[in-house]
Amino acid sequence: MKKEIAKINALLIKEFGIPPRNTNKATPLDTLIGTILSQNTNDNNSFKAYSKLKCSFKNWDEIEKLPLMKLEKLINVAGLGFQKATAIKKVLSYLKREKGSLSLDYLVDNSDEEILTELTSFQGVGLKTASCVLLFSLERNVCPVDTHVHRTLNRIGIVKTSSPDKTFLAVKDFLPEKSAHTFHTNLIRLGRAICKPAKPGCAVCPLLKICQYEEKNLEKGKAVTKRDFMLLDNL
Ligand code: SF4
């Protein structure tokens, strides 16, 4: 599987290039909260909610003290306000109570597995959210699997899995060294711009020759829209 992933990665780089990485690194806690806000919404709306929190308050301590309803209102633009506000409050309260400070820096020397176990023990934090912290903040070679990554990898034929979490577990030990950020980001670009859920643009797809999807759509002439704003590279 490692060789196949390397080949797909190379073809996607040819099409989309190597995505830039944020040099102004967000902390692991920033990334965790940004990712909670990004669940089930688009990058622009979650960025608005994240920016509102960051611009309205000096630090996470001030946000931890907010009443739940106020936090919910502040982040409502990202949708699922109550659910996300509850998850954020629980993470912040836990860190304050159990660790004495609002930071996830106590995890930085732990293994990927240990960090995933710790983060997924928080309410509202699943494998995808936890793996985003590993990739985007801690720069580990881990590929978070959202709906685009799950769909494209199944169509290409790298995995045959029934959920994003199963896809994550199936590929996690087969990523070529230092490939995860580019692989993850370019699969999302592919899924948004070409390998769309309803009508994939197989005729213009850089993976056409190696893709095993049996229901390819080879109609030509469809415009390809590339949306390049990626929330977690812009926190
Ligand atoms: S060839 Fe079609 S189905 Fe396969 S990855 Fe490309 S767009 Fe998706």
Q: Which of 108, 137, 166 is the last residue of a domain?
A: 137
Same-domain check for residues 82 and 165? no
Radius of gyration of the chain (CA): 18
Evaluate: CB of 195 within 6 angstroms of ligand 1. yes
Q: What is the pLDDT, as a whole number, of residue 140?
A: 97
Same-domain check for residues 130 and 161? no
CATH number of the structural domain spanning residue 172 = 1.10.1670.10
> Cα 174 from chain centroid?
18
Same-domain check for residues 33 and 133? yes
CATH number of the structural domain spanning residue 77 = 1.10.340.30
Same-domain check for residues 52 and 133? yes
* Residue 209: Cβ within 10 Å count: 7
> Cα–Cα distance between 51 and 228 in angstroms, integer?
19
For residues 47 and 78, the answer to whether their CB atoms sit within 8 Å is no
Q: pLDDT above 70 covers what percent of the chain?
A: 96
Same-domain check for residues 121 and 174? no
Ligand 1: centre distance to CA 11 (Å): 12
Q: Which of 110, 137, 164 is the last residue of a domain?
A: 137
Q: Determine the 3-state secondary structure of 182 from DSSP.
A: helix
Domain span at 86: 28-137
Q: Which of 102, 137, 172 is the last residue of a domain?
A: 137
pTM of the model: 0.92
Q: Looking at the CA of residue 201, tell me the nearest atom of ligand 1.
A: 7
* Domain count across the chain: 2
Q: Is the pLDDT of residue 230 over 80?
A: no
Q: Among 156, 220, 222, name the best residue to mutate to test ligand 1's pocket (greatest count of ligand atoms within 8 A of Cβ).
A: 156
Q: Is the pLDDT of residue 18 over 90?
A: yes
Q: Among 5, 208, 224, name the best residue to mutate to test ligand 1's pocket (greatest count of ligand atoms within 8 A of Cβ).
A: 208
Same-domain check for residues 37 and 126? yes
